[in-house]
Structure 1
């Protein structure tokens, strides 16, 4: 059985492994970035776990605007209690757990949290090939992002309330 929970500091090493499986070196969050996210936004950092092993995660801070900006990848602030957009800076599933619906479970949980806390919506950036996955979850492609994170062309996807 897969369980979803908030991140714990003891998850760090498993999270780094999954991050590096899912993202290139240029895209991947650093260990320091993970430590900050665990410290400042544990309420919007969700982990999927089975038998004590982390299968995947989703995380991101609450932001005022509808689109992610590159500064979010290095500067995290604690989340406000209400309003704003739930951003997603990272969604990754371990190689061993792919194809089991873990990413959808994580996204659904973060969407529930956003609704429960009166967020204006959920926002993320993704590569072109991932747009259909997010559109199936109710996101709308709002075009090319201004983000230059990792030297990649990203697209703004938003699910508004």
Structure 2
């Protein structure tokens, strides 16, 4: 039976130390031990979590930093996706008590917990997605319905998120430029694939991408389906799809493969 994604707020990333919403508070002796072993409590601690509208400003900032103006998602699109199907959207965060003010999303960071207001949760990257009844992403799948605020879950609507769809359509995989070239995009995508797969809410994940990024997605298990009919912004896109195995054993095998390849 499909699991409720919204109940699974945090997920450990394969191949990294155990990750929690926030590193435990350090007392004096713990802090000294961290110092003796050369570990800085404010080092990068990547964690993942589902998103909601409270992350709008951080997601807009990340999207604007990662993409050219013509290709980035608008504020309205991002708000729509975070509101209607935030459980399908995932953020990659780090936490710090002394965040780098030069990182664009620092100014919109969340306080991790009320008991430790100095520790902030800073968005480094995100996946924004909806569901569609199509196997491949169409232009209509990328659209925002005009009346979505008045009728947020109109099942008869042919555009935007379709809750009964069995394809998760990724519209954005973004990582802040300051944190690119560290493997975080691949780590985020693999964590996302595992989460959607384990939840059983879809049969596949689809994305449209540029030619030069095809090997990146193939390395995570996506298959090149050729040139897309989607002509968003007049760009030639490539359709890529990752199909989930239908048996439990196969699902487990794919999860192990993704972990081993990390």
TM-score normalised to the size of structure 1? 0.91
Q: Which moved more, 1:33-42 or 1:16-25?
A: 16-25
Query: Would the aligned equivalents of 2:126 and 2:172 in 1 still touch at CA under 8 Å?
Result: yes
Whether 1:64 and 2:133 are equivalent positions in the alignment is: yes
CA deviation digits over 1:60-79, x for unaligned, max 9?
Answer: 11212210011222233363
Which residue of 2 is the match for residue 77 of structure 1?
A: 161
Q: Give the aligned CA root-mean-square deviation in angstroms.
A: 1.5
Of residues 149, 156, 159 in structure 1, which corresponds to 2:232? 149
- Larger proportion of strand: 1
Q: Distance in 2 between matches of 1:118 and 1:44?
A: 10
Query: Would the aligned equivalents of 1:3 and 1:49 in 2 still touch at CA under 8 Å?
Result: yes
Q: Distance in 2 between matches of 1:79 and 1:97?
A: 33
Of residues 65, 70, 89 in structure 2, which corresponds to 1:26? 70
Which residue of 1 is the match for residue 47 of structure 2?
A: 3
The 4+ residue runs of structure 1 with deviation greater than 3 A are: none
Q: What SS does the aligned partner of 1:60 have?
A: strand
Whether 1:91 and 2:135 are equivalent positions in the alignment is: no
Q: Distance in 2 between matches of 1:145 and 1:49?
A: 32
Show structure 2 runs of 5+ residues with no match: 1-44, 96-120, 145-159, 245-262
Show structure 1 runs of 5+ residues with no match: none
What are the within-5 Å matches in structure 2 for residues 41-52 of structure 1? 41-51=85-95, 52=121
TM-score normalised to the size of structure 2? 0.58
Query: Would the aligned equivalents of 1:56 and 1:94 in 2 still touch at CA under 8 Å?
Result: yes
Q: What SS does the aligned partner of 2:127 have?
A: strand
CA deviation digits over 1:78-113, x for unaligned, max 9?
Answer: 634xx6011111100001111222212221222123
Whether 1:160 and 2:243 are equivalent positions in the alignment is: yes
Greater RCO between the two (CA within 8 Å, min separation 6)?
1
Q: Distance in 2 between matches of 1:30 and 1:152?
A: 17
Greater Cα radius of gyration, structure 1 or 2: 2
Q: Which moved more, 1:139-148 or 1:64-73?
A: 64-73
